[in-house]
Structure 1
Amino acid sequence: MIVVGAGFGGLAAAHHLRTAGFDDVTLLERAGDVGGVWRDNVYPGAACDVPSVLYSWSFAPKTDWSHRYARQPEILDYIRDHARRSGLRDRVRTGADVTHARYDEPARRWHVTLATGETLSADVLVSAVGQLSRPAVPRLPGLDSFAGPVFHSATWDHDVALAGRRVGVIGTGASAIQLVPAIVDRVGAMTVFQRSAPYVVPKPDGAYSRRQQHRFARHPRLHRATRQGVFHLSEQLNRTLDSDGRLAAVLHRAWQLHLRRQVPDPALRARLVPDYPLGCKRLLFSNDWYPALTRPHVDVVGDAITAVEPGGVRTADGRLHELDVLVLGTGFAATEFLVPMEVAGRDGVRLADAWEGGARAHLGLSVPGFPSFFVIYGPNTNLGGSSIIGMLEAQARYVVQAVREIAAHGPLEVRADRAAAYDEEMQDRLAGSVWSSCASWYRDPGGRITTNWPGTVTEYRRRTARFDPADFRRLAERRDEAEAR
């Protein structure tokens, strides 16, 4: 078996496969180490917005997090340490950039081609490249003409000196609200270009004391109970963000109070009011975002960017904002999924063509026409709240069950009618959710919402808990049908 990607999802899949007795697993990682987004995102202030007690694999509990919300270096150390101690690191081939994967129907195997030209084969292929692996670079006229350094938050250039310089940050999402406060007191001037203001509420962060860490280590039941309690709170948050209930109103009020207390200037406050309903985007947690924007050397610009010039950024009001460094805090190309890897299934059909009208997969995992192929963190499995690791582990356990069926009966392919019915359910539910009013962020070019899951983690776990062979057909069945015709 081949697993592409060695982040949280790929390592979870490999762990569960190996635990189930499937020891012949190779992980292909294009970078030089494991870690996924936590290896790549090393911008100043990088941290998790999910409580650390919940942001870990269930099979590798960590009791000594230094903070309630873990910082990037500690999360990466956790991933690396587990991969090493468990022996999974020995199964990872680093520097293995997958460019193509093709299903060979006569051989009933997948052939995977690396950028070096080397070809590997496996009876099962699992993609675990995630939704947040490719930085989204905005198509701004003249971006290449900027005279100073330009880099994305996910490819932060630590060699660029920021002290005393005029720095522009494009974007006000989850990365920007961390990096801006982290560098604001180092720069000479900062301009934050905001397309739409985020909802930001207080972050209940703080350092864990040695006593608390010791209690978690000595009393595993206490740690499990705390984790479960945080999970239930996060599930409630998931429900709240997609409802018009009282808790949503409470969160909205918490945001209003947070903004009013931290931004005294009415004019600036007005610019920081979102123009979309609470829940459209992921709710953000920060205690220092708003204060950073109130610094006298910081300017928040809401006018649209019309062009980038050698000396700075020009906005729709005609003003040129002179800059020395430009940082792109513009998120990731989440709707592109496996791009640029090309995957071809039965009869040479390309996955890109099968997804021409928008990515879709049964349970977010299986695509008709692509036998024995599974997508971890695939279409419609992202969350508006809670820890994605719970979703990744549910998918990994489902893949294990599927592999058991494949080992016993040969290649399996999800039935087109089952996949279509599931996709119709997803789109119907999403059409009635808060995300339907946020088309510009969540819909792909085909007009579909392809990233988000419309329910809770608990529901997804329930629906993936048992692999149903009736949802699939064996390739032998297809061959028999063809011969009968």
Structure 2
Amino acid sequence: MSEQPDHEVVVIGAGFSGIGAAIKLDDAGILDYVLLEEGDGVGGTWHWNTYPGIGVDIPSFSYQFSFEQRSDWSRVYAPGRELKAYAEHCVDSYGLRSRIRFGTKVTGASFDDGEHLWRLEIGDGSTVTARFVIGATGVLTQPKRPEIAGVEAFAGPVIHTARWDHEQDLRGKRVAIIGTGASAVQVIPSIASEVEHLTVFQRTPIWCLPRPDAALPWPVRAALSRLPGAKLVTRIASQAFVEATFPLPAHFHGVLPAANGAERLGRAHLRRQVKDPELRRKLTPEYAVGCKRPSFSNTYLATFNRPNVTLETTPIEAVAETGIRCADGSEHDADVLILATGFKVFDQGNMPPFPIRGRGQVDLEDWWMEHRFQAYEGISVPGFPSLFLVLGPYGYNGASYFTLIENQVRHIVRCLKRARRDGSTAIEVTPEANRRYFESMLARRGRQVFFQDSCSVANSYYFDRHGDVPFRSSLTLEAAWHSARFDLDDYRFTVADGAAVEAAAGA
């Protein structure tokens, strides 16, 4: 080994995953790191997504780091601008801004077997080298355009919710919106009152549950800030609510009948919100709660009562210059087309987000294509040493992303501290450990909602190209326990000449 890397650790992404990783690297005394961020600001999702009505879809008390809790959220469900501000706050409070290289897009990564380092290719043609790499890009980053003929031919403005064009004024316009997923649930009620007419094209209805939202006036915020234990009690209640509304019904469907209760709640909410029986029928999902992530809104369903809003469920045949033509021959004129069609998730080019070549220059996308999506504890893949994924396959259980980030970073930092102590230059999960974890996830399928018959009609992005759903089938507490106690001997710690470093117990 002769070449020294530019940095001990490179973190790819300056969203909350990258921010959380950087804070914990500092805490561990691992100071030689840099964050590479494609955009010109921090916050990831909350930097790129600025569409009308954007906000967090779980209570704000859960959507924050446990070690940096705010008590001044304006609402139980904070608007997007406050999440963006929270990201900026974390970056400045922990002194991370000087460690971030903005406008730096990683276009490829290759592991050097001989030197035990990663070579990261940058969009400007330069290269950054690192001993260890933390992938913190998330998966909800690349907008997905619909595969519908003629989208490019539309004569008016075409706006994807993930890249909102604030130069466009929708007032008095005829607007068509394709999609009724999470972003559409927030956009539709936010723009319906200002447009001349809004036509919503729905392929699959979404379960919409009542949102326990409320403004948090100053006396409430003051009490949360000053009363001993108030933050803790609020967070525990919030975490319990989040766990009950997705991880429990999704992963314990065959054990706990929580999903049935959620469906009853959703149907009752729909009856209260929508007057017309035919509209209610069209807005009622045929799949179980959990096949797709449910949404929470007190205004989305009621928007369809408005005389200037049309729900169209006939399949789209094509987009024309002046509007949208459906399969039954009907045409809907529009001045503006909004694509609320979500993100690339398991699409090629997104998992991973750029070509990654491990030992022997094996391509990670090809490896996953052959062996199915899998990663030990959702973090490490055999054959790809010193690469750690914050949101790898079977890492996320559907609760708060912040608990995911803290759990995964705890795991990663344990590995890095062990390597430092032992003088290791590469960390690689063993195939046996990876197989054991993957098989344990597959063994839990029987109790998950995803593999029940009704999910076949959900059109859910949860399903990958192999027909798997790479969610971690566990409660959040179980994931936290494993992150702090997994066996470090599930990894091989080696030096550049390939000699094994003797593992020390108790790290």
Q: TM-score range by the shorter chain?
A: over 0.9
Report the AA paired with residue 429 of structure 2. Answer: V
Query: Shift of residue 424 of structure 1?
Result: 2.2
Query: Shift of residue 433 of structure 1?
Result: 1.2
Partner of 1:259: 270
Conservation of the 8 A alpha-carbon contact between 1:18 and 1:25 = no
Partner of 2:383: 369
Partner of 1:316: 327
Question: Unaligned stretches of 5+ in structure 1?
Answer: none
Partner of 2:482: 463
What pairs with 1:57-456 in structure 2 (closer than 5 Å)? 57-237=65-245, 238-242=247-251, 243=253, 245-336=256-347, 337-357=350-370, 358-384=372-398, 386-409=399-422, 410=424, 411-430=426-445, 432-437=447-452, 438=455, 440-441=459-460, 442-450=462-470, 452-456=471-475
Conservation of the 8 A alpha-carbon contact between 2:379 and 2:395 = no
Secondary structure (helix, strand or coil) at the match of 1:352 reads helix
Conservation of the 8 A alpha-carbon contact between 2:156 and 2:321 = yes
Conservation of the 8 A alpha-carbon contact between 1:372 and 1:406 = no
Conservation of the 8 A alpha-carbon contact between 2:160 and 2:339 = yes
After superposition, the C-alpha distances for 1:243-274 in whole angstroms (9 at most, x for unaligned) are 26453333222211111111111111111110
Conservation of the 8 A alpha-carbon contact between 2:249 and 2:289 = no
User: 1:114–1:477: structure 2 CA closer, same or farther, 3 Å change rule?
Assistant: closer
Conservation of the 8 A alpha-carbon contact between 2:28 and 2:413 = yes
Conservation of the 8 A alpha-carbon contact between 1:175 and 1:329 = yes
Report the AA paired with residue 273 of structure 1. Answer: T
Taking only aligned residues, the RMSD between alpha carbons, in angstroms, comes to 1.7
Secondary structure (helix, strand or coil) at the match of 1:99 reads strand
Query: Shift of residue 474 of structure 1?
Result: 2.9
* Counterpart Cα distance in 2 of 1:477 and 1:88: 31
Query: Shift of residue 469 of structure 1?
Result: 2.3
Q: Could you state the TM-score of these two structures normalised by the residue count of structure 1?
A: 0.95
* Counterpart Cα distance in 2 of 1:289 and 1:478: 60
Conservation of the 8 A alpha-carbon contact between 1:7 and 1:34 = yes
User: 1:69–1:15: structure 2 CA closer, same or farther, 3 Å change rule?
Assistant: same
Report the AA paired with residue 263 of structure 1. Answer: V
Secondary structure (helix, strand or coil) at the match of 1:124 reads strand
Report the AA paired with residue 179 of structure 1. Answer: V
After superposition, the C-alpha distances for 1:86-114 in whole angstroms (9 at most, x for unaligned) are 10122111011001111111111111111
* Counterpart Cα distance in 2 of 1:430 and 1:95: 41
Secondary structure (helix, strand or coil) at the match of 1:374 reads strand
* Counterpart Cα distance in 1 of 2:396 and 2:133: 21
Partner of 2:44: 36
Query: Shift of residue 480 of structure 1?
Result: 5.4
Query: Shift of residue 216 of structure 1?
Result: 1.4
Report the AA paired with residue 253 of structure 1. Answer: R
Secondary structure (helix, strand or coil) at the match of 2:36 reads strand
* Counterpart Cα distance in 2 of 1:427 and 1:37: 30
> Which deviates more from structure 2 when the two are superposed, residues 48-57 or residues 438-447?
438-447
> Which deviates more from structure 2 when the two are superposed, residues 464-473 or residues 153-162?
464-473
After superposition, the C-alpha distances for 1:287-339 in whole angstroms (9 at most, x for unaligned) are 00011111111111111112111121122212122111111111111224444
Q: Could you state the TM-score of these two structures normalised by the residue count of structure 2?
A: 0.91
Count how many residue pairs are aligned between Structure 1 and Structure 2: 479
Report the AA paired with residue 374 of structure 1. Answer: F
* Counterpart Cα distance in 1 of 2:258 and 2:464: 30
Secondary structure (helix, strand or coil) at the match of 2:182 reads coil
* Counterpart Cα distance in 2 of 1:476 and 1:202: 55
How many percent of aligned residue pairs carry the same amino acid?
A: 37
User: 1:289–1:23: structure 2 CA closer, same or farther, 3 Å change rule?
Assistant: same
Secondary structure (helix, strand or coil) at the match of 1:60 reads coil
Query: Shift of residue 467 of structure 1?
Result: 4.2
Question: Unaligned stretches of 5+ in structure 2?
Answer: 1-8, 501-507
* Counterpart Cα distance in 1 of 2:170 and 2:328: 27
Secondary structure (helix, strand or coil) at the match of 1:43 reads coil
* Counterpart Cα distance in 2 of 1:86 and 1:477: 33
